[in-house]
């Protein structure tokens, strides 16, 4: 045990990011960046303390239908978050565009334009895109125009490799959702002692991506996301960034556990050799085949897109009231 909080120790090893639309709650944790998604913005929009913000956006855009108004709500929350964090905010493109490259590019440019109309430098914005083949193709084009992307709903090395090849600024591998899938699959044979901690399948997935990127000199930043507990977070200390919910940030702030670096670029080459992982050369057909052959990644990607679509439609319905 130590007198320094686990959160403070973690910040010396990893850039800590707040994963929430509840910007008032994130102040106490002093994160560098923040991430949002349709589900988080929907949740925040329903809270009484954000009703005035939502109402002000509707008042300022009386001619906008709910489907168009969503973008203005996302940016309104992003603008408030940028008053709190010194770094970047991630804002997500409509998940219903996940299989349409051109529409994704157009939506990303629209969101950047809204931020820039408020005087925000585009360097402070990460546009979140689903790591589908079409989303990755959109990211490649957007990055070439100076619009930085956060590739989300990422569950596999093949997705990560394709994002790296597209020069995406950042990827968000979803730790907890990977673990959820294996817990469900293993059912009664899941054992926290054997399948948790350093053996947690979600943790192992991020470690594999980290070692792959560092060994092959890929500049794309890695930000572990979607955590279920603080153990998963601490097992990834040393990752480029970790985006963490306010609930888990509070647990880390209250904890006095000693935090040690678990991920180190100097271990990358040996780790890849031990797992016999070679550099992936991907075109569209090989990407689709390898992703298809990974049942967990295929199922969780599809489920994630479906759920974000549902929550975007719920947000539209909320704005229509």
- At residue 94, φ and ψ (nearest 5 deg) are -45, 120
Catalytic residue, candidates 58, 64, 107, 128: 128
Between CA 264 and CA 233 the distance in angstroms is: 15
Under DSSP, the state recorded for 278 is P
Residues 221 and 167 sit within 8 Å (Cβ to Cβ): no
Between CA 149 and CA 123 the distance in angstroms is: 10
Q: Tell me which H or E stretch contains 150.
A: strand 149-154
Between CA 31 and CA 190 the distance in angstroms is: 34
Between the two ends of the chain, the Cα-to-Cα distance in Å is 51
Under DSSP, the state recorded for 51 is H
Q: How far is CA 287 from CA 100, 155, 209, 279, 294, in A?
A: 17, 13, 16, 13, 11
128 among known catalytic residues: yes
Residues 44 and 21 sit within 8 Å (Cβ to Cβ): yes
Name every residue whose Cβ is closer than 8 Å to that of residue 69 and which is 6 or more positions away in sequence. 57, 58, 61, 316, 319
Residues 255 and 5 sit within 8 Å (Cβ to Cβ): yes
Beta bridge pairs of residue 152: 130
Q: What is the chain's Cα-based Rg?
A: 19
* Angle, vertex CA 95, rays to CA 178 and CA 291, nearest 5: 45
Q: How far is CA 261 from CA 10, 151, 255, 267, in A?
A: 9, 25, 17, 12
Active site residues: 128
């Amino acid at each position: 045990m130590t007198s320094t909080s686990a959160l403070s120790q973690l910040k010396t090893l990893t850039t800590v990011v707040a994963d929430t639309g509840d910007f008032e709650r994130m102040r106490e944790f002093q994160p560098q960046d923040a991430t949002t998604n349709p589900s988080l913005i929907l949740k925040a929009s329903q809270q009484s303390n954000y009703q005035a913000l939502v109402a002000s956006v509707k008042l300022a855009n009386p001619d906008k239908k709910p489907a168009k108004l969503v973008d203005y709500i996302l940016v309104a929350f992003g603008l408030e978050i940028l008053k709190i964090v010194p770094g970047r905010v991630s804002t997500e493109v409509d998940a219903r565009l996940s299989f349409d490259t051109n529409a994704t590019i157009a939506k990303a440019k629209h969101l950047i334009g809204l931020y820039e109309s408020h005087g925000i430098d585009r360097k402070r914005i990460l546009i979140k895109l689903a790591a589908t083949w079409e989303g990755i193709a959109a990211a490649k084009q957007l990055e070439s125009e100076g619009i930085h992307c956060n590739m989300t709903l990422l569950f596999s090395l093949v997705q990560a490799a394709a994002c790296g090849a597209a020069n995406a600024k950042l990827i968000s591998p979803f730790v907890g959702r990977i673990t959820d899938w294996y817990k469900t699959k293993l059912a009664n044979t899941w054992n926290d002692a054997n399948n948790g901690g350093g053996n947690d399948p979600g943790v192992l997935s991020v470690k594999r991506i980290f070692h792959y990127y560092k060994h092959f000199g890929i500049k794309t930043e890695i930000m572990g996301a979607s955590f279920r507990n603080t153990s998963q977070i601490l097992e990834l200390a040393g990752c480029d960034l970790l985006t963490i919910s306010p609930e888990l940030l509070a647990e880390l702030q209250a904890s006095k556990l000693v935090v040690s670096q678990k991920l180190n670029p100097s271990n990358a080459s040996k780790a890849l050799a031990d797992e016999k992982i070679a550099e992936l050369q991907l075109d569209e057909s090989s990407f689709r085949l390898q992703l298809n052959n990974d049942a967990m990644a295929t199922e969780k990607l599809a489920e994630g897109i479906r759920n974000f679509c549902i929550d975007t439609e719920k947000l539209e319905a909320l704005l229509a009231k």
